[in-house]
Chain A
């Protein structure tokens, strides 16, 4: 069982990450997303972390790398599903996730992505 799943929603990808994700799987997820995003002209990736109880600096760094990579591929990253204890821990350990967007749930994440689509269309 691969500890992640990718669900396409048109030009947006919904990625769900499982608790036990390891270094190797995370690396291959990033590779896969990079390829998929550029091949399919994906403009947004929603990463759902509701099944992850512990977000440590290891995972946080990878998420930050992902966001940076996707930005260079003209796609936006939105993270959803952070629980209150996870947020408190991230703040306690001063783990910054700058340049990453967050949303309350997948619905609101899609809203956010559509908003930026509009903004991008105007410019």
Chain B
């Protein structure tokens, strides 16, 4: 039977070679005794190769899998094939991440007589991977921020409130009306009404492609909001298609003033404003009464 000991023939030369390899290499027998070990492997745990010969590999190296069924040498020798993986090498209070590969060693008769282990310190590689990942995340975050800003700008641009006449505001809605957009548009409209004290608001939906229950409700809500502020809303630009849809949806348009075109609404509103001005305020006669409190 050929044992490992006899293969130590041209030791010197072999050792020159394996000591030149910067990653760790060692060979153990079936009892985990270290037969061969290179400088890099020994130095990783602060030793010289000489310290390690014939010592048990689990005495020299400390990983979570040592002396368990997961021991890579055990797995490699029992399965007869290469076992690769990543683990932590604990030394001097530090934890060094390593990547390893264990290969079973066979004699001429094909029997497994030991294990060759190769491992690499991957701490630098992991650091770099982390750095790249965080840079990518930063980039993505920035892009998302930019997109959000652009979306806000589009929202602002696409629902402008226009003073088309003294006391008459117009809100042309263009595009789909989602709840966020509707809310923003409504708020801006109300603020405009408050600022300009406009008694009339023309809401034009020529630019709204389709209306479902949600959109219809948002429109009605906006009309309600205008009413609560003390103004009156006139809805214009309803296409025949949308009119049919809203009828089918059973949307209650009872109290809403509707005109077909914005110009019609403008005529109507200007007319009503003139009427108001023609009417005398009609200060009711008042005896001087004390404050009721």
Query: Is there a chain A Cβ closer than 8 Å to B157's Cβ?
Result: no
Q: In whole angstroms, how far apart are the Cα atoms of A25 and B179 in the complex?
A: 39
- Residues of chain A at interface, number, CB under 8 A: 32
Contact A83 B194 (CB under 8 A): yes
When chains A and B are docked, how far (Å) is the Cα of A34 from the Cα of B260?
A: 43
Residue in B186, B230, B281, B284 whose CB lies within 8 Å of A104: B230
Does B72 make an interface contact (CB < 8 A)?
no
- Whether A6 pairs with B194 at a CB distance below 8 angstroms is no
Question: Are B282 and A6 touching (Cβ within 8 A)?
Answer: no
Q: Is B237 an interface residue (CB 8 A)?
A: no
**Is A59 on the interface with B (CB-CB < 8 A)?**
no
Count contacts between A and B, CB distance < 8 Å: 74
Q: CA A44 – CA B282 in complex, angstroms?
A: 13
B68 CB–A CB distance under 8 Å: no
Instruction: Please report the C-alpha to C-alpha distance between residue A105 and residue B230 in the assembled complex, in whole angstroms.
Output: 8
Closest CB of chain B to A90's CB: distance in Å? 6
Known: A6-B293, A105-B197. A84 touches B187 (CB 8 A): yes
Set A32, A97, A115: member contacting B228, Cβ < 8 A: A97
**Proximity string of chain A (74-106) to chain B, C-beta cutoff 8 Å, 1 when within and 0 when not:** 000000101110011011000001000011110
**Alpha-carbon distance A80/B197, docked complex (angstroms):** 12
Chain B residue with Cβ nearest A103 = B230
- In the complex the two chains form, what is the Cα distance from A115 to B198 in whole Å? 18
Residues on A with beta carbons closer than 8 Å to the beta carbon of B229: 82, 84, 87, 102, 104
Q: Is B51 an interface residue (CB 8 A)?
A: no
Q: Are B282 and A91 in contact (CB under 8 A)?
A: no
Cα-based distance from A87 to B186 in the complex (angstroms): 10
7 A-B pairs with C-beta separation under 8 A: A6-B292, A84-B187, A88-B186, A88-B187, A88-B190, A91-B224, A111-B276
Known A-B contacts: A6-B293, A8-B289, A117-B282. Give 6 more (CB < 8 A).
A82-B229, A88-B190, A91-B228, A108-B230, A111-B279, A114-B281
